[in-house]
Amino acid sequence: MAEPLLEISGLTARFGEIVALDVVDLTVPAGRIVGVIGPNGAGKTTLFNVICGFVRPQSGVITCKGQALHNHRAHDMAKFGIARTLQSLGLFAGLSVLENVLVGATVHARTGVLSALFALPRADREESALRDRAMAHLETLGIGRLADKPVGGLDHGSRKRVALARALLGEPELLLLDEPAAGLSGREIEELADLLPGLASSVVLVEHHMDLVESVCDDVAVLDFGKLIARGTPDTIRSDPAVIAAYLGEDANGDA
């Protein structure tokens, strides 16, 4: 078994009476793509929100490369080598594709605000290197030609790639993707499946599209009403009676 990059144990998060995560344990080994699936309201997004410091859990421990994430905040994530995309994408419609990607760079730049303000040479060099890196990610994701276009005029699939490029700019070791296939065409999902394994050492993928989960995930964790009800390869998960029961009434083979 590869060394764990992220380890979660006993994680509980409540919103009033609702137990969104109920003593959840999850390990993400280095070099693996882990899928997190489950019916609507199962706790998947809350899991990401807790890892990223958006939501404070009532109990539990999260460690990244052996270092405890405790009382951390969303802007600390880059230091731990973790990046995330949001379901809502969080892009600025009036800014260009490249500018949207560079917005994510502020947390990663080493240059101080003063040297940036006075455009000192180091700030220039860092900005130029960041732009090169941003362009390289846009090229990898097949949208380099759109770098100067305003995001507001792009189709949904391209906007999702911009959000992904922004997450990649910090060169994360662990990438958390919240429903990256939502709203994409079948062809776009296939392209995403080809790209995903090369994007970061480890990926955690919250996804309803089982085709994508089955094609890219090494293993899959299944949440239901905040509890981890199964963990295993996509094949074992598909035939797990508890998983089938959880999805009863939903289409486990496609969109939920």
Contacts with ligand ATP, residue ranges (CB under 6 A): 15, 18, 20, 38, 40-46
Which residue lies nearer to ligand ATP by CB, 47 or 78? 47
Name every residue whose Cβ is closer than 8 Å to that of residue 17 and which is 6 or more positions away in sequence: none
Smallest distance from ligand ATP to CB 178, Å: 8
Smallest distance from ligand ATP to CB 223, Å: 6
Which residue lies nearer to ligand ATP by CB, 45 or 202? 45
Q: In what order do the strands lie in the sheet with 18-29?
A: 18-29, 4-15, 59-64, 67-68
Q: Give the helix/strand (H/E) hosting 100.
A: helix 97-103
Which residue lies nearer to ligand ATP by CB, 20 or 154? 20
Which residue lies nearer to ligand ATP by CB, 101 or 210? 210
- Distance between alpha carbon 30 and the CA centroid of its chain, in Å? 15
Q: Is 175 exposed, middle or buried, given 0-12, 13-18 or 19+ CB atoms closer than 10 A?
A: buried
Name every residue whose Cβ is closer than 8 Å to that of residue 226 and which is 6 or more positions away in sequence: 13, 19, 20, 21, 22, 24, 42, 43, 46
Smallest distance from ligand ATP to CB 225, Å: 8
Smallest distance from ligand ATP to CB 13, Å: 8
Which residue lies nearer to ligand ATP by CB, 138 or 210? 210
Q: What secondary structure letter does DSSP report for 88?
A: T
Smallest distance from ligand ATP to CB 14, Å: 9
What does the radius of gyration of the chain's CA atoms come to, in whole angstroms? Answer: 19
